[in-house]
Amino acid sequence: MTEASPEIATAVRVRYADTDQMGVVYYANYLIWFEVGRNEYLRAVGYPYSKLESEDIRMPVAEATCRYHAPARYDDVLDVRTRIAEVGNASVRFTYRIVRQADARLLASGATRHAAVDPGGRPCRIPEEVKRCLRA
């Protein structure tokens, strides 16, 4: 089921350690920033990972995509704009846009799909209360 969710922005500053020898952000760091955005999104809707885990729900990444539009560089301040694109019975799909604050340029976009599993790694249904929070 496709959902229309609010977009939540989380600011991150590019550290020197985030860049490669060419002076641009190393490509894998965008996936880390997706995780930062996802954590803050869940926190904002009242269901941080710690609460999910206390209810024996885990949400491992089952699929990830990232498209790079322009490079980020040291000391850039970026907005990781996160939203939920879909909430299913046993999975959630987040979408992301990483935008440089100084000029609003889109630097990267992508998505992650997460499977709901129990502590033993077996697929499980997402409880209705969690779905309601995610769709809010």
**103 an active-site residue?**
no
Q: Checking DSSP bridges between strand 106-115 and strand 91-100, what pairing results, if any? A: antiparallel
User: Which two tokens mark 85?
Assistant: 């694109």
What number of H helices and E strands is found in the chain?
Answer: 3, 5
How many angstroms separate the CA atoms of 135 and 86, rounded?
9
Domains of the chain in start order, with CATH, are: 8-135 (3.10.129.10)
Given 20, 56, 75, 118, the catalytic residue:
20
pLDDT tens across the length of the chain (136 residues) = 444 688 999 999 999 999 999 999 999 999 999 999 999 999 999 999 999 999 999 999 999 999 999 999 999 999 999 999 999 999 999 999 999 999 999 999 999 999 999 999 999 999 999 999 888 7
Look at residue 4 in the predicted model and tell me its pLDDT: 61
The CA–CA distances, whole Å, from 29 to 33, 36, 75, 98, 108 equal 6, 11, 14, 11, 11
Residue 27, amino acid: Y
Structural tokens at position 86? 């879909």
